Amino acid sequence: MRTMTVRALSERLAAPGPRPVILDVREEWEIRLCALPGTLHIPMGQIPARIEELGRQDEIVVVCHHGIRSRRVIGFLESQGFTGLHNLHGGLDAWARDVDPAMHKY
């Protein structure tokens, strides 16, 4: 499973060129606390029913609070033929700690 650090994602989002899809698999209440701008929000439990919203060949960075749920989602998506997946190492907790200290932590 490929991972992406929060610093690498931050640099990627700041650079010109195509952006990866950022798939946030946290629950709605978590999204209300904090989220990266421009993310696609599909809670982990809804992924099977909403899988057609994702492109199997797209580069997708899967995000959750610490990186555990996103890892499980990636395992499922890989079994469905998705290839361009990255797990955000440390999740939004690491983002708030290392990239955006103003982001709400929970």
- DSSP character string of the chain: --EE-HHHHHHHHHSSSPPPEEEE-S-HHHHHH---TT-EE--GGGHHHHGGGS-TTSEEEEE-SSSHHHHHHHHHHHHTT--EEEEETTHHHHHHHHT-TTS---
pLDDT at residue number 58: 96
Per-residue pLDDT tens digits of the chain, which is 106 residues long:
899 999 999 999 999 999 999 999 999 999 999 999 999 999 999 999 999 999 999 999 999 999 999 999 999 999 999 999 999 999 999 999 999 999 999 9
Q: Which of 4, 64, 88, 96 is catalytic?
A: 64
By C-alpha distance, which of 45, 93, 90 is closest to 67?
Answer: 90
Q: Domain 3-98: give its CATH superfamily.
A: Rhodanese-like domain (3.40.250.10)
Q: Which residues pair with 86 in a beta bridge?
A: 61
Is residue 64 among the annotated active site residues? Answer: yes
Q: What is the pTM of this model?
A: 0.96
pLDDT at residue number 60: 98
